[in-house]
Structure formats: structure tokens, C-alpha cells
Amino acid sequence: MIAHKGVSYPNAVPNSLIALKRTIATHPDYIEIDIQPTKDGVYVLTHNTKIKTVSGGRLTYQKQIGRL
């Protein structure tokens, strides 16, 4: 079994540490995560290149981490 983005449940953001910790507890064979670089070279866990849930889709990871 491959878990993608972590276990889903209310208030769990995909690819978040809490989602990944809950995924580990289910003992999948593999966990697949998505990593995107910011403009200044900091890597963040996210599936999409746009930060839809917190910005309404206006921000992208092509900005510096301090501006997110």
C-alpha cells in the first residue's frame, strides 16, 4: 500500500507533519510526499504549486519563504 499526502481526516492538511504521523501509524508500505522549492531554495511539503487553502490561490511557492 502506498499512502499519498498522508492520512486524511478533518483539520488535517495534506503533507503536514500530523497527517504524516497518522499515516505512519497505519503502517503503509510506502509514503509518497510532494516537495516544492520556494524562490529562495527552501523546500516545503505541498502537493500543489499554489497555496490555495490559505491564500485563495493568490500565492505560489515561487516566492521567498519569508513572504509566505
Predicted confidence (pLDDT) per residue in 8-36, tens digit: 666 667 777 888 888 888 888 888 888 88
Kindly report, residue by residue over 40-66, the tens digit of the pLDDT: 788 887 776 666 555 555 555 566 566
pLDDT recorded at residue 13: 72
Cell digits of residue 13: 492538511
pLDDT recorded at residue 67: 61
Say how many C-beta atoms besides its own lie within 10 A of residue 45's C-beta.
17
Q: At 36, is the secondary structure helix, strand, or coil?
A: strand
CA distances from 45 to 3, 4, 63 (A): 15, 12, 15
Distance CA(50)–CA(58), nearest Å, equals 7
Q: What residues contact residue 8 under an 8 Å CB cut-off, 6+ apart?
A: 14, 19
